[in-house]
Amino acid sequence: MRVFYIFLILGCFLTACGGDDSNPGTDDAQTGDESDLSEAGLAVDAGFPAIKIDAPQVVTLGGPVLNTPKVQPVFFPGFDYGSQITDFTNKLGGSAYWGALSEYKVGKITALAPITLTQADAAPSVIYDNQIQDWLKTRFDGSHPEFGNAPDENTVYALFYPPTTTIYLSNAPAGDGGAPDGGGGFGNAKSCQGFGGYHSDFVMGSNDVAYAVLPECPTFGSLTGADVSTSTASHELSEAATDPFPMTQPAYTQVDDDHLAWMFFLGGGEVGDMCAQFPESFYTPTDVGHVVQKNWSNVSAKAGHDPCQPTGASPAYFNAMPVFTDSVSTRGTTTKGIDVPVGQSKTLEIDLFSDGPVNAPWMLDAKAYTRGGAAPISFTFDKTSGQNGDKAMVTVTSTSAIQSTSKTPTATIVITSTLGVRQNVWVGILGQQ
């Protein structure tokens, strides 16, 4: 599955998102290394969290990760931030930020000397994903020594396009003109509107080639200029290292079956996707000096810590975990959730936890969404605040039928914990079967 850095759902938990349209997950394969919290730099505080955490885990489908990754930056004429990207990639491998990916058995990344293309290779005003693949294949025909004579399966070819180029995720339309053909299942999504970047792969001879497509976009949330490019590159390079060949040999590409709702809600199940929608995931590490985006840690999530790592010396993490006991059908598979037939109610237990002392109770709220907006679901809490070890009981009522074209319509439940300006969420799925 090609997974990409989405622009459209930043702040998704404040608007209408989620629903029942994503690919089925799996928990047949192993998750990341969960054995040693201290080695991962995660402190253990007795009594925190007060519960056993049933957290989402990004799972591998068995494909390889990059144990000795390299990044080959390629700058098209007109790309404005070549010097910043060069400095960023040179510092990335030795950073604590990149080191946090070691739980997925990813090694230190090596930055190769950037390839700066001439006007003879200027990017067109419009280009499609299959055309990008075709162009990259021509670089290895022996007439471009800077690329070598054959692609390297440990190298991610990071293609930085100028702002004058519009990139479509789909394949080019057949013949002259017409709409994109929707190849890959992404319709006619285009750069800087439907996505901020993506990574994928193709087979060339006996080699599987990993590449990342990185358009120059003016803004992403509150980020502007070079910060958009470095944060997008950090997201795509992290995912390309943990899932280098998503089309042919997928690795850490989606969440486990029990937590499919997270993948629906956040727009993807790779390690970058799981954190991309939270503004606090974007920061500037001192050992990188450029804005990056944090990635999902299975180890941290399972231990009840902030799952988006690294965090540094941050305040105690807090959240509220619903206890789902039903199996809900969606998209030809089943996942954990709550099943509430139309006109009926069911009580849902929510367990509050933190990984250290929190100076005040945090507030609780719950909402339900489909892709069309708010779902016809109501929530009544017996208490609306608490701290580590507390429980809240919520009466969930299906007031009317969820409107969906799916044979098994579902809604996404979002439990929000708020303390001051800090906010964390937990996601689940509701059926009406």
Read off the pLDDT of residues 166-215 as tens digits, 9 standing for 90 and up: 999 989 887 544 444 434 444 578 999 999 999 999 999 999 999 999 99
Which tokens in the block code for residue 216?
């120059």
pLDDT of residue 4: 44
Q: How confident is the model at residue 330 (pLDDT cuts 50, 70, 90)?
A: confident
Residues 79 and 232: their CA atoms lie apart, in Å, by: 14
Measure the CA–CA gap between 33 and 253, rounded to whole angstroms. 16
Query: Torsion angle, CA of 242/227/41/391, rounded to 10 degrees?
Result: -90
Average confidence (pLDDT) over 410-422 = 97
- Mean pLDDT lowest among 34-43, 72-81, 373-382, 421-430: 34-43
Inform me whether the pLDDT recorded for 25 exceeds 60: no
Task: Quote the tokens at residue 11.
Answer: 């702040």
Mean pLDDT on 400-424: 93
Answer whether residue 364 shows pLDDT above 80. Answer: yes
The pair phi, psi for residue 200, each rounded to 5°, is -160, -165
pLDDT of residue 3 exceeding 60: no
pLDDT of residue 175: 58
What is the average pLDDT value for the chain, to the nearest integer? 89
For range 124-136, the mean pLDDT: 97
Q: Quick one: three-class SS letters along the chain?
A: CCEEECCCCCCHHHCCCCCCCCCCCCCCCCCCCCCCCCCCCCCCECCECCCCCCCCCEEECCCCCCCCCEEEEEECCCCCCHHHHHHHHHHHCCCHHHHHHHHHCCCCCEECCCEECCHHHCCCCEEEHHHHHHHHHHCCCCCCHHHCCCCCCCEEEEEEECCCCEEECCCCCCCCCCCCCCHHHCCCCEECCCECEEEEEEEECCEEEEEEEEECCCEECCEECHHHHHHHHHHHHHHHHHCCCCCCCCCEEEECHHHHHHHHHHCCCCCCCCCCCCHHHEECCCCCCCCEECEECHHHHHCCCCCEECCCCCCCCEEEEECCCEEEEECCEEEEEEECCCCCEEEEEEEEEECCCCCCCEEEEEEEEECCEECCEEEEECCCEECCCCEEEEEEEECCCCCCCCCCCEEEEEEEEEECCEEEEEEEEEECC
Q: Name the token pair of 13.
A: 């938990």
Task: Say if residues 283 and 250 touch (Cβ distance below 8 Å).
Answer: no
pLDDT of residue 81: 98
User: In this predicted structure, what is the pLDDT of residue 38?
Assistant: 45
pLDDT exceeds 50 at position 26: no
Residue 154 neighbours by CB under 8 Å, 6+ apart? 66, 67, 68, 69, 70
Which tens digits make up the pLDDT trace of 103-129?
999 999 999 999 999 999 999 999 999
Question: What is this structure's pTM?
Answer: 0.89
Please indicate whether residue 330 or residue 187 has the higher confidence score (pLDDT). 330
Half-sphere exposure of 277 (CA within 13 A, CB side): 26
Residue 183's pLDDT is what?
Answer: 40
**303/356 Cα distance (integer angstroms):** 12
Domains, the chain, with CATH or none: 3-298 (no CATH), 315-431 (2.60.40.10)
50 vs 352: CA distance, rounded Å: 8
